[in-house]
């Protein structure tokens, strides 16, 4: 997720449907959420279990958020610059 190009969906729609992921979680990090949820159900949601899976998913979510914020900032700068050019 380090590049600025469009992210790649790793989990397919079929895999997400089979894992019964809610629509709000069917994002670019769904491929990490599927094994996390499986681990959680197998270990009865014990908080000290599945820590690696949870950390990987949370890191992916954070990186995706930061990437979207960088793109938004670039877009805002571009719009601001075009407004300044139009005024001159």
The token pair at 85 is 């050019």
Please tell me which residue, 83 or 55, carries the higher pLDDT value.
Answer: 55
pLDDT in tens, 19-37: 999 999 999 999 999 999 9
Question: pLDDT tens digits for 41-82?
Answer: 999 999 999 999 999 999 999 999 999 999 999 999 999 999
> Is pLDDT at 2 greater than 80 in this prediction?
no
What confidence score (pLDDT) does residue 55 get?
A: 98
Answer for the pair 67, 57: CB distance below 8 angstroms, yes or no: no
E strand residue ranges, the chain:
none
pLDDT of 1 reads: 46
Name the residue among 41, 37, 4 with its Cα closest to residue 22: 37
* Packing angle, helices 30-42 and 51-87, rounded to 10: 150
Which pLDDT band, with edges at 50, 70 and 90, does 3 fall under? low
């Amino acid at each position: 997720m380090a590049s600025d190009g469009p992210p790649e969906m790793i989990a397919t729609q079929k895999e997400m449907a089979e894992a019964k992921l809610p629509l709000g979680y069917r994002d670019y990090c769904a491929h990490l959420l599927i094994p996390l949820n499986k681990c959680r159900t197998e270990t009865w949601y014990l908080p000290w279990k599945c820590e690696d899976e949870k950390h990987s998913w949370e890191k992916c979510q954070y990186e995706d958020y930061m990437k979207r914020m960088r793109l938004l900032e670039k877009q805002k700068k571009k719009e601001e610059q075009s407004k300044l050019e139009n005024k001159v």
